[in-house]
Structure 1
Amino acid sequence: MFDILMYLFENFIHNETEFRVDQDELTDELIRAGFHHDEIFKALEWLEKLAELQETDINPYLTKGPAALVTRIYTAEEEARLDVECRGFLMFLEQVNVLDSTTREMVIDRVMEIDSSEFCLEDLKWVVLMVLFNVPGKENAYAQMEDLLFEMPEGPLH
């Protein structure tokens, strides 16, 4: 499923190709690309749920109190999926204002819905990019995340 999400993001969304295509047409194209129908359905459903998260006026992820005073406690399932490196990266993204508490929770929600036994930091970076791309008003955060994903830093990060 994650391979399909990556394929869609790289070939349609990220390249700013018109993405408003017929779902049957898109499914046919993905089948021609070698993906299985069940996995295509899961990937398209994942994208629909992402769109639903940002289309609602209700923010189910907003926390009360100043962001600096809020600590995110991960569930056992989240810790199993997001290792220490991933959780540290999410914290880093919040500290540099790429993510806020709402977008962080959207990322975690989408990560937990990925049907894959393997998940790593590189996968997390792509999920963050997909989430930020789909949230209106997060263009600067998206650009920052793109830089973090595609530019190879030299020397230590400060």
Structure 2
Amino acid sequence: MMMDILMYLFETYIHSDIELQVNQDELEDELVRAGFDKKDIYKALVWLEELAALQQNSEHSAISVSSGASTRIYTAQEMDRLNVECRGFLMFLEQVRVLTTETREMVIDRLMGLETDEFELDDLKWIVLMVLFNVPGNENAYTLMEELLYSKEQGILH
């Protein structure tokens, strides 16, 4: 599954001292050796390229800063992918300033880019981490989100 590959890459390369300048062919070979399907590997790498493109385009984004009173209206497709729990979690992350309007839209874009019908709150949390890690200037938000994700075992998040 594509989400498994993304999580594997994130944990292997982000939470380690391994050099991030990896040849794409070598990376594909490593993922095949780890047991992932080539088709899913390709989709995951395209997904990551699209995340990088979002980050590069964020400086020229048309997304305006919302006021505290604005509400995000989800499309039917987004509501199919994001259940009420996930939408509520995104709202919570905005309220505690982990996500901005712009990073929330990047998260929604990337989760809609996943080719899966099985999507849960834990998957959303990982997508949020990946987006925050890839957007410069969000180090504090990334750290807070990481704490939220890893403190789940201690019963802080339900």
Short-chain TM bin: over 0.9
TM normalised by structure 2 equals 0.92
2:83 match:
83
- TM-score of the aligned structures, taking structure 1 as reference length: 0.92
Alpha-carbon displacement from aligned partner over 1:26-67 (angstroms, at most 9, x marks no partner): 00000011111111010000000000111123114x136x42
Aligned to 1:125: 125
Relative distance call for 1:118 and 1:155 in structure 2 (3 A) is closer
- Aligned position for 2:137: 137
* Residue 69 (structure 1) shift: 2.8
Which residue does 2:97 correspond to in 1? 97
**Which residue pairs with 2:49 in the alignment?**
48
Please list the CA deviations of residues 68-121 of structure 1 after superposition, one character each: whole Å capped at 9, or x if unmatched.
Answer: 132100000000100000000000000000000000000000000111110000
Match of 2:22 in 1: 21
Please tell me the residue identity of whatever aligns with 2:67. A
The match for 2:12 is 11
CA 1:18/1:67 → structure 2, altered by over 3 Å: closer, same or farther? farther
Gaps of 5+ in 1: none
Separation in 2, partners of 1:155, 1:5? 25
Size of the aligned set, in residue pairs, is 155
Aligned to 1:147: 147
Q: Which runs of 5+ in 2 are unaligned?
A: none
Is the CA contact 1:110–1:127 (under 8 Å) kept in the aligned structure 2? yes
Q: Which amino acid aligns with 1:87?
A: R
Q: Which moved more, 1:97-106 or 1:16-25?
A: 16-25
Amino acid across the alignment from 1:14: H
Q: What is the RMSD of the two structures over their aligned residues, measured on CA atoms? A: 1.6
Alignment-derived partner of residue 116 in structure 1: 116
Letter of the 2:100 counterpart: D
Q: Residue 137 of structure 2 aligns to which amino acid in structure 1?
A: G
Distance 2:15 2:40 in 1: 21
Moved over 4 A (4+): 153-157
Question: Secondary structure at 2:114's aligned position in 1?
Answer: coil
Q: Percent identity?
A: 60
Comparing 132-141 with 69-78, greater Cα deviation is found at: 69-78
**Alpha-carbon distance in 2 for matches of 1:17, 1:155:** 31
